[in-house]
Amino acid sequence: MAEQAAANFWIKRDDLRTTKIVETPIPGADGLQPGEVLFKVEDFAFTANNITYAAFGEAMKYWDFFPADEGWGRVPVWGFGDVLASNAEGVAAGERFYGYFPMSTHFVAQAVRVSDAGFFDGAANRAELSPVYNNYLRVTADPGYDAAREAEQSLLRPLFTTSFLIDDFLDDNQFFEASTVVLSSASSKTSLGLAQVLSSRSANKPRVIGLTSKGNTAFVEGVGYYDDVVAYDDIASISVEGNVAFVDMAGDANVRAAIHNHFAERLTCSCAVGGTHWEQGGGADNLPGAQPTFFFAPSQIQKRNKDWGAEALQAKIAKAWAAFLASVDGWMKVERSGGLDVTKQVYLDVLEGKVAPESGKIISLWKI
């Protein structure tokens, strides 16, 4: 890699298996424009959630966060960055931040709304995007930060926030009069977080059923968050009374159709969240039961910010996060790796579903 150049991992938008490394110049400390902050992207988590970002990159505007050339995209990731240089008042070189980064060695942010807690990236291309993703948290001011648990924060905190908000969305709608909640891709970290929250409820506690592949059944059962674990091929065997809510993390048209056809009019909610089965997407028309609708976490955040206030919402999430974090050591194994070739291999392994469900991948474009 040339000196004063950043390495960036790009993905072909219409063929997610095609990738390339692109070098781009980075400014020196004296080349930063007013308000700009130069980060070294230290490391980041890579999970099935990032495949969802790519699979829904156009529809949900995930490609818009970090622009690339026509036909190419940069998958956003959650991780940590150190400030190498700053021309933004209130942000100093050497500070560490947690936030939404590109898969790159370096990143230049336009710091606005700087506070003790951190700042927002005010780049023009992000102006119309959800502010939830534009917030960079100063670790020294983050009450949820633990230096020894950075990996768990990158891997699970953004996913768990979605898990919490889905539970809140269901509760806010009286669980759509359902007494059972079925989750697809039950081994995914977002599903595991949601199952833990649902199973920990003191009131309105539903029966929680996890759908997974036969190969992951033993793992999902061992985690202990689900009342029942069912293989995809055995959906027709599910026998429960009352109405059912379906939270679809897989985005697999065949699984969706099987659930809708099995429960029919007893399916009172069909909530699409992710795309872990990204190649089997599509086909949501003319199914019995509730019309599939997409869940967008920032919309629920905005609603609860109005209902409760942002501080109260964050306090509720933090309390639930602490309980979830205390339970994950029994099933998650953090695996660190670094380098350009390794990054590509981890990306492809996650894309193809070859990563064990207990694995938590932390990667860096820097060699470690």
Using an 8 Å Cβ cutoff, are 38 and 32 in contact? yes
Evaluate whether residue 214 is within a structural domain: yes
pLDDT for position 278: 47
- Is residue 314's pLDDT more than 90? no
pLDDT for position 143: 79
Task: Clarify whether residues 59 and 136 are in a common domain.
Answer: yes
User: Token pair for residue 230?
Assistant: 């069912």
Last residue of a domain, one of 299, 324, 349: 299
Task: Clarify whether residues 175 and 63 are in a common domain.
Answer: no
pLDDT for position 2: 40
Task: Clarify whether residues 109 and 175 are in a common domain.
Answer: no
Residue 86, strand partner residues: 37
Task: Clarify whether residues 25 and 86 are in a common domain.
Answer: yes
Average the pLDDT over 271-295 and give the result: 73
Task: Clarify whether residues 118 and 190 are in a common domain.
Answer: no
Evaluate whether residue 322 is within a structural domain: no
Task: Clarify whether residues 138 and 167 are in a common domain.
Answer: no
Could you give the number of structural domains in the chain? 2
Evaluate whether residue 266 is within a structural domain: yes
pLDDT for position 325: 93
Evaluate whether residue 309 is within a structural domain: no
pLDDT for position 56: 85
Q: How confident is the model at residue 1 (pLDDT cuts 50, 70, 90)?
A: very low
Q: Residue 64 is part of a domain; what is its CATH number?
A: 3.90.180.10
Last residue of a domain, one of 299, 324, 343: 299
Task: Clarify whether residues 128 and 173 are in a common domain.
Answer: no
User: Token pair for residue 333?
Assistant: 């194994």
Tens of pLDDT, residue by residue over 199-241, are: 999 888 999 999 999 999 999 999 999 999 999 999 999 999 9
Task: Clarify whether residues 289 and 207 are in a common domain.
Answer: yes
Look over the chain and give the mean of its residue pLDDT values, rounded to a whole number: 93
Q: How confident is the model at residue 283 (pLDDT cuts 50, 70, 90)?
A: low
- Is residue 69's pLDDT more than 70? yes
- Is residue 32's pLDDT more than 90? yes
Q: Residue 291 is part of a domain; what is its CATH number?
A: 3.40.50.720
Domain that holds residue 205: 158-299
Report the b/e string of 46-58 with b at 16+ CB within 10 A.
bbbbbbbbbbbbe
Reported pTM? 0.83
Q: Cα–Cα distances in Å, from 25 out to 10, 111, 123, 316, 327?
A: 16, 20, 18, 42, 43
Task: Clarify whether residues 180 and 205 are in a common domain.
Answer: yes
Q: Cα–Cα distances in Å, from 102 out to 41, 73, 79, 106, 116?
A: 8, 10, 9, 8, 24
Evaluate whether residue 313 is within a structural domain: no
Compute the distance between CA of residue 293 and CA of residue 50 in angstroms, rounded to an integer: 20
Is residue 121 classed exposed, middle or buried when 0-12, 13-18 and 19+ CB atoms within 10 A define those classes? buried
Which is it for the CA torsion 306, 310, 312, 316, positive or negative? positive
Task: Clarify whether residues 209 and 118 are in a common domain.
Answer: no
Q: How confident is the model at residue 297 (pLDDT cuts 50, 70, 90)?
A: confident
Task: Clarify whether residues 281 and 231 are in a common domain.
Answer: yes
Evaluate whether residue 18 is within a structural domain: yes
Residue 72, strand partner residues: 12
Tens of pLDDT, residue by residue over 137-190, are: 999 998 778 899 999 999 999 889 999 999 999 999 999 999 999 999 999 899
Task: Clarify whether residues 177 and 279 are in a common domain.
Answer: yes
Q: What sections of the chain are H helices per DSSP?
A: 48-55, 150-172, 189-199, 217-223, 253-263, 297-308, 310-328, 340-351
pLDDT for position 251: 85
